[in-house]
Amino acid sequence: MPKVNVLDKFCKSCELCIEVCPKKILAVGDKANAKGYFTVVCTDEEKCIGCKICATVCPDVAIEIYK
């Protein structure tokens, strides 16, 4: 099962990953990082298909997908 890892220190909550996720399992979380951005979280890892589209579009390279 794929695992989504959002690197909080790099995420600026641009929401590009949320828009492109085919399973719509990414959302802005309620926890702010050190820069004050509310980072993205995966709402249901069991539905993740490991397509890595979110990681590809992230301009800050803040998403890692582990299979």
Q: What are the structural domains, with CATH classification, of the chain?
A: 3-66 (3.30.70.20)
pLDDT in tens, 37-49: 999 999 999 999 9
Residue 47 burial (CB < 10 Å; 0-12/13-18/19+)?
middle
Strand, helix or coil for residue 54: helix
Please tell me what DSSP assigns to residue 10.
T
pTM, two decimals, is 0.92
pLDDT at 67: 87
